Amino acid sequence: MPKIRPYRDADRDALYEICVKTADAGGDATGMFTDDRLWGDVFAVPYVVRDPHLAWVVESDDGRTIGYIVATDDTDAFERWFREEWWPSRVSVYPLSGAAEPTRQDGIIGYASRRAPGNEKHAAEYPAHLHIDLLPETQGLGLGRQLIETLFGELRRRGVPGLHLGMNPSNTGAGAFYERIGMHLLESNADTTMYGVRFD
């Protein structure tokens, strides 16, 4: 039976791999971009660089890392760090296409470049946020719930009042999961469905 354990630096390459294999609304996005690592550099790895103590992984019986949860307990502080320190160290690796019609990769690069404190209106009431990704072999075993409960316990210990997350609206399975674990819909837009939970 797979087990949950704290993140280790040796898991970083696995985070990149899991991120891309689940990036297309839960499906495999391998080859969608010129460099698959862009997904991880935006949505997974910066979290473990900044606060590895808010990250846990699923380890298979044979020692592979096959799922993860990463988070920040302060979205605005994280976005400031992402904008000032993390993304400037990565952006040159991912040049824009220069195409007349922006590509999906251009869109992700643009999103990363626009990240900044104050952009997320839910961060005041729900200051933490997370990203969780599980390979298909982990699903249906209750591991997602265990990862969430582990993170929520640590956020409560830190005195964090709430957490939000955003997801692709087409990923209906993820939405149903978040509702089952007690999260509620927040004001959203056509591109992103937002959920939140309070801890106080």
Residue 77 is predicted with a pLDDT of: 98
8 A C-beta contact, residue 162 and residue 195:
no
- How many angstroms separate the Cα of 156 from the Cα of each of 68, 163, 199? 19, 10, 6
Ordered by start, the domain boundaries in the chain are: 3-141
Residue 170 is predicted with a pLDDT of: 87
CA 21 to CA 133: how far, in whole Å? 9
| Residue 35 neighbours by CB under 8 Å, 6+ apart | 93, 94
Beta strands in 39-102 (DSSP E): 55-59, 65-72
State the DSSP H helix or E strand holding residue 196, giving kind and residue range, or none if neither: strand 193-198
Residue type, position 40, single letter: G
pLDDT tens digit sequence for 148-189: 999 999 999 999 999 999 998 988 888 999 999 999 999 999
Residue 200 is predicted with a pLDDT of: 83
Residue 187 is predicted with a pLDDT of: 95
- How many angstroms separate the Cα of 78 from the Cα of each of 24, 38, 199? 24, 18, 20
pLDDT tens digit sequence for 90-147: 999 999 999 999 999 999 999 999 999 999 999 999 999 999 999 998 888 899 999 9
| Cα four-point dihedral sign 119, 21, 8, 183 | positive
Eight-state DSSP code of residue 4: E
Check whether domain 3-141 has CATH 3.30.390.50, yes or no:
no
CA 102 to CA 109: how far, in whole Å? 10
Residue type, position 41, single letter: D
pLDDT > 90? residue 26: no
Residue 171 is predicted with a pLDDT of: 85
Residue 58 is predicted with a pLDDT of: 97
Average pLDDT over the chain reads 95
Residue type, position 144, single letter: G
Residue 174 is predicted with a pLDDT of: 87
CA 135 to CA 28: how far, in whole Å? 10
State the DSSP H helix or E strand holding residue 184, giving kind and residue range, or none if neither: strand 184-185
CA 159 to CA 50: how far, in whole Å? 19
The model carries a pTM of 0.95
